[in-house]
Every structure is written in C-alpha cells, then in structure tokens.
Amino acid sequence: MEFPTQIFKAYDIRGKVNTELIADLCERVGAATARWLPSQGIVAVGHDMRPDSRQLADALIAGLRSQGRDVWDIGEVTSDMIYFAIGAYDLAGGAVVTASHNAGDYNGIKIYRDKVTPVGLDSGLDAIRDSARDDTFTSLESEGRLEKKNITDEWVAHALESVEPSTWPAFNIAIDAGNGMAGAILPSVLDKLPIVAKQMYFELDGTFPNHEANPQNPDNLKDLIAVVRESSLDFGIAFDGDGDRAGFVDDLGRPVLGTDLISIVAKMILEKNPGTKVVHDVRTSRATTELIREWGGEPVRTKAGRVYIGALVREVGAKFGGETTGHLFFASNYDADSGLIAALYVMQAIAESGKKLSELVDEYRRYEMPPEINFETTKKDTVIADLKQHYADKEQDELDGLTVEADEFWFNLRGSNTEPLIRLNIEATTPSVLEAELSVIREIVARHA
C-alpha cells in the first residue's frame, strides 16, 4: 500500500478506516512518536468509541512500546482527558485515537507532547509522518511497560474546580452527547451538579446513528432545539464526538455561536483576572473583541485551529482563549481546551449574570453574523485571488486565508485543513449589507465550483 501522506493534516491525523488508517500504520506512527517526543517518560494513550478505535489504539501502543516508551492505557475517554493526563501527571506526551466530529467511516490520531503542547504539521507531525513512512525502526531488546489507568474521578474533580455549582439556580436543560464520548463521562459529572438534565443520545455508538456529532453544524442541533422548545428548558448543550467541544442552544431554541461563547466566558474570566489577554481566531465577531476591550482585556488574534490557539494562550500568558468552532482553552486546564470545562464555565457565567442565556446572547451580539458557511470547490486559491481583486479597495490580510475589512462588514474565507471545503465567516452592520456581500461572494465562488 502506498503511504497515505494525505492523512497527515495541519492539526492531526485523519483518514478513512480500513484503507488509509490501518493498524500497521498506527503502529508505525506510535514508533515514530516514541522517537520524536523531546521528553523522556510515560506516554498516555486513549481512544474514542468508534468500532476500530480500540484496535488502532492497541497498535499505537505497540509502536510506542517497541521503542522503549512506557505507556499508560487510559482506555475509552474524551480527548480532553488525554490533555489532562499529560498536564496533571507531567507526562512526556499523549495520543488519542479519534476522528472527533467526522463521520463514522473516518478515524484519526491527535498527538500531544509534554506540557500539553499539540503536535501539528509545523510543530513535529511532519517529522513523525516522515519517520513512519521511512519505517526504519528496530525493536529494542526490552519494550516499554504498559499500565492501564482509570483517571475519570481525577478528571471530574479537576473540571469541577473551575466552577461553584452551589451558586447556580436549578437549571433545567437537555444535553445531546451525539452518541460520542461525552456520554460516557457526563454521568460522573451530572450527579454533582444542581441541575435536571434530559439525556439525549448518551449511548456510545461510533457509527453515529442519530446525527453527526458536530455541534457547529445547525443541522445537528435540530433534535436538541426541539426538546428545548417543547419543554421550555433553560438551554441545551451538545458535545462533539470526542468531547472536547460543547455547543449551546439558548432558551429560545437558537444556536449560540462560538464567538458568543467566547464573549460569555471572557466576561467572567476578566472579572476575576483584570487586564488579561484573551486569544481568539480570525473568525471572531467584532463584537467579541470590542467587548473584551470594554471589559478591560486585550484581544490577541491568531490563525484558526486548536494548535495555534492553545500555543498562543501559553506564549502570551493569557488566562483564556477561544476558537469560534467551540474549542475553549483555559490556563487553569494546562492551557488546553475542554468541552466539559467550557460547558461548566458557561453555566457558571449564566448563573452569575442572573440572566437567561438568550438575554446574554442578544446583549453581546451587536452585528449580523450567520453561522459559518461552507462551499465545495477544488479551486480555493483561484476563488481567493478573485475576491482579493474584487475587494482591492478594502483592508485585507492573509494571516489565515483571506480577511477583508470594511466599515460596514468584514469576512474571512479560508480553506479547511481537514475537509475539501472553503469556509466563510462574515459579519455586517445590517441584514441588507450582509445579504449584499454574501451575494457577491457566492457569485465569485460559483464561478469556480
């Protein structure tokens, strides 16, 4: 089989099961990772609930041990539990077998080094890829030790340190786990919170029989929205497949944008840490950055992608950072993201505000901003070149894709690092301005469909 270079993405490894990502390749990735990791010591390995994840994790573990690495097998976990294990126990690194929110015919591997530092193509994954491809490993006389560990209780205790549930009202909510890994961990949390939670799709099923476990896509929130509206609940929470992102639906049944969640959490963070920096990606609403400044903070802009947000949170000493996809990063969580901790923080912020979630969203959302729009095209560079020419009289930058700024609107168009798509985020002062600019962009994209 030809080595599948294409599955080594900007942030992690993602490939088709049984064809691109197979056990032999995972074993080679494990061996390569064992050699590459800069620190000596234990490596934690976990996996999600996909049908082949256990097999692939076993192969990854075999590769790590073949090069002398001691391994903690922490079993079926959310991705943020791997991040916690590395940070809390000062491990040399960790890896989790998961394809996050991708459909069931995909799987993948997220790799972290010491200090909970994500490993992407420009921070070591390229070297791991090349080493796995060359496959020049020699097994050592003595392989690394293997220890099975259960860290659920420690993880739950750590997550709950961030909040004060005793100050919450008795929230009545719904939670959609999307048949993903959050469904395995949430029961250990919910009985410690003063809330009533209707549990939706908590059964682990890596084929995702009900809907894709991606809360950023409004189509995947339809069931949750229906329950929130029909039962007049306070809000709903939806987790992605590997549990490191949480999305919200407000009491009116409206999806809450990722930029709204950044605003909501930033206010609480800044009240407790005046003047701190808040890291955000290029797709964040102007309202969010305006509010951060008004609350005494300093917004720091970077590329989209969890590997960039988390690294910059640490680099600039920020207490908090957010990506508009729902990845929220906390200094108190070893500068890493967590769906569970994000959900707890948002609930704490709602409680402290004394307002409904819909009221917070309406207060913080100052402009017209639809959810991210995806376009299929194989001519990303041509589309961007045409848009640059059309908007030549506007302020532009290419920190990540193309960002165009004008007084009445702005937009960012960037290629997906995990799918054959270009993604549009746009915001305008009025609905009419938004529709006008959307029409222009759609027409230019359509030329190159």
Cα–Cα nearest to 261, from 191, 329, 313, 206: 329
346's enclosing H/E stretch is helix 339-353
CB 248 within 8 A of CB 261: yes
CB 254 within 8 A of CB 236: no
Catalytic residue check, 100? yes
DSSP per-residue letters across 208-243: -SSS-S-TTSGGGGHHHHHHHHHTT-SEEEEE-TTS
CA distances from 61 to 24, 33, 94, 318 (A): 12, 10, 10, 34
Return the amino acid letter for 291: L
Distance CA 144, CA 109 (A): 20
CB 135 within 8 A of CB 28: yes
List Cβ neighbours of 275 (8 Å cut-off, separation of 6 or more): 296, 297, 298
Distance CA 449, CA 435 (A): 20
The whole-angstrom distance between residue 324's C-alpha and the CA centroid of its chain comes to: 9
**Which residue(s) pair with 405 in the sheet?**
395, 410
Cα–Cα nearest to 440, from 394, 401, 397: 394
Distance CA 175, CA 425 (A): 27
Pairing mode, strands 395-397 and 336-337: unpaired
CA 30, 35, 36, 38 torsion-angle sign: positive
Question: Catalytic one among 53, 100, 131, 263?
Answer: 100
CA distances from 403 to 153, 309, 373, 440 (A): 44, 18, 15, 15
Structure tokens that stand for 403 in this block: 């960002």
CB 59 within 8 A of CB 27: yes
Q: In what order do the strands lie in the sheet with 235-239?
A: 196-200, 172-176, 235-239, 246-249, 255-256
Residue with the two structure tokens 């994954």: 125
> On the CB side of 65, how many CA atoms lie within 13 Å of its CA?
17
Residue with the two structure tokens 């390995």: 45
- Name the DSSP class of 224: H
Distance CA 206, CA 181 (A): 9
Q: Which residues are catalytic?
A: 100
